[in-house]
Structure 1
Amino acid sequence: MHFDQGCRTQHGADRALSAGRLLLPAGLALFLVLPLGPAEAGCQDSPGPGVNWTGCSKARLILSGDDMTGAVFNGASLGASDLANAGLAGASFVGAEVTRTRFDGANLERANFEKVMGWRTSFVGANLQGANLVFADMSRSSFAKARLAGANLSKSELNRSDFTGADLTGADLSKAELARVSFQNTKLSGANVSFSNLARADLSTADLKGVNLTRSYLFLTQLGAADLSGAVGLTQMQLDMACGTVQTKLPADLARPASWPCGDTEQ
């Protein structure tokens, strides 16, 4: 009797333990199919400070002047949206798509645009001081009169973009694609443009005090009246490829090429 009762008790415990073992994976499976973060659920949230629209489709929105300080748009689709004059300081757009989106006059100080796709995007007059645009693909975009002091644009693609009147003081543009970019009246003093592609870019009226041009590709780069006397890393070989004039100021150890001014300088 005691033996049978003990067996039945042990058998019941084994069944309970077995059931517990079966329930654990099922519970885990249920957990794994649930949304792991606020991104998907947040897609229906109204715009505001700290809103999380990670991975959301938000194309063609009109959010001009809205306060979205610290918002998260990582991987989101924001193409053709209007975010002019919006408050977006510290916002994160990592991997987002912002093609033809307007950020004119927006406060994007310290915003993160790393690996963003944004052809023909407009940042006219925007505040991008200290912003991160590493690996951003923003060809044919406008940064006219934008404030980009201390911004990091390293390894970005900005071909045919417009930086007329922008402030890039101390910015990092190393290893960037800057072919045919307009830097007219642009502040590039102290900027790092080393190893970048400046083919056919216009530096003719830029402030280039202390700019780092080490190994930059200057094929048919328009130097005009630029003052390169304080440029860092500039070589005779680079000048021989570029297009300067009698007004171009050079470092004391470099000579004006006989080919200047260039014959074919079509942009």
Structure 2
Amino acid sequence: MTRITPFFLALAAALALPAAASALTGEKEVQRFTSFGGACANCELAGRRLAGAHFIGANFSGASLVGADLRGARFVGSVLAKADLSRADLTDAHMTGANFSHANLTGARMRDVEASGTVFSSANLSGVDLTDSRALGANFNGATLTGAAFTDANLQGAVFRNVDARGANFRDARLHATNFSGGRLDRASFRSANLSGAALRGGSFRGADFHDADLSHVSLAGADLTGARGLEQSQLNEACGDAQTKLPRGLTVRACRGSGIVVKVPPIPPVPALKPAQPGPRYLIIAESF
């Protein structure tokens, strides 16, 4: 017979309630918050209501959070590598030093998130809405971003090397010193985006929209901009390329010299090692009343 410990009873009770629940005490409303720490690799938390939850130094690698309500959640130094957060609601979430590498975030709602320095390398973010988000220095290396929306997002210094972001929307985004080298961004929209100092080296931007985009100090060496829309010679006069750069008919670009401008961006935190769970409690659940 399986013995049910008080720890697992507490866990079940915590997950059965909304993460930010309210109760009435006399005439005062008491707000309760749930915090998670320790290890819970491969946990089943699909559809859970965890709005406002705090994941502090937690290892949720491989966990299922499909469709979970994580609005306003905070992921501090936590590992969610290979976790399934498809269709999860992460609106207003804060991800500080978190690792979402190889995670599935397809169709997730991530408007207004703070993800500066967060690792999304090789993650699947197809169709994700990151409108108005802030992700300075974030690492999207090798991620799938097809159809993702980054409208009005601040992505300065972010790394998008070797991404598949075909059809993604970067309209009005701040992309200063962002690295798109080797990426597939065909039909992506950079309308009115600030790409100053960005690296588009060796990337594919066939049919992309560059109407009113700032391309000052942009490196287009080896980039394919065949059929790019809204691209003007005045924009290219501020950029540079090489003999392998492909441009729409009638447009030219000067040769790159030197390494371009140098911009200081927030460093990307080290990725925590994925270690086996140590003996002791698998969860730390703290209920705080205010």
Matched with 2:189 is 192
Matched with 2:49 is 52
1:211 equivalenced with 2:208 (yes/no): yes
- Aligned partner of 2:157 among 157, 160, 166: 160
Verify the 8 A CA contact 1:42 1:51 in the aligned structure 2: no
Q: Give the secondary structure class of the aligned counterpart of 1:200.
A: coil
1:150 equivalenced with 2:147 (yes/no): yes
CA distance in 1, matches of 2:242, 2:33: 59
CA distance in 1, matches of 2:124, 2:27: 41
Verify the 8 A CA contact 2:124 2:143 in the aligned structure 1: yes
1:121 equivalenced with 2:118 (yes/no): yes
% of aligned pairs identical? 30
Root-mean-square deviation over aligned CA pairs: 2.1
Verify the 8 A CA contact 1:62 1:82 in the aligned structure 2: yes
CA distance in 1, matches of 2:26, 2:85: 34
- The one-character-per-residue Cα deviations of 1:54-107 (angstroms, maximum 9, x if unpaired) are 122222221111111111111121121111101111011111110211111111
Matched with 1:24 is none
Matched with 1:265 is 260
Query: How do 1:1-267 residues align onto structure 2 when only pairs under 5 Å count?
Result: 33-34=28-29, 40=32, 48-257=45-254, 260-263=255-258, 265-267=260-262
Verify the 8 A CA contact 1:92 1:111 in the aligned structure 2: yes
Q: Give the secondary structure class of the aligned counterpart of 2:234.
A: helix
Matched with 1:7 is none
- Higher strand fraction (1 or 2): 2
- Higher helix fraction (1 or 2): 1
Q: Give the secondary structure class of the aligned counterpart of 2:55.
A: coil
Unaligned runs of 5+ in 1: 1-28
CA distance in 2, matches of 1:125, 1:88: 14
Amino acid at match of 1:265: G
Q: Cα distance 1:53–1:251, how it changes in 2: closer, same or farther (>3 A)?
A: same
Q: Give the secondary structure class of the aligned counterpart of 2:56.
A: coil
Which is bigger in relative contact order (C-alpha 8 A, separation at least 6)? 2
Amino acid at match of 1:85: K
Verify the 8 A CA contact 1:43 1:52 in the aligned structure 2: no
CA distance in 2, matches of 1:95, 1:209: 33
- The one-character-per-residue Cα deviations of 1:158-214 (angstroms, maximum 9, x if unpaired) are 111111111100010111111111111101001011111111111111111101011
Unaligned runs of 5+ in 2: 1-23, 37-42, 263-290
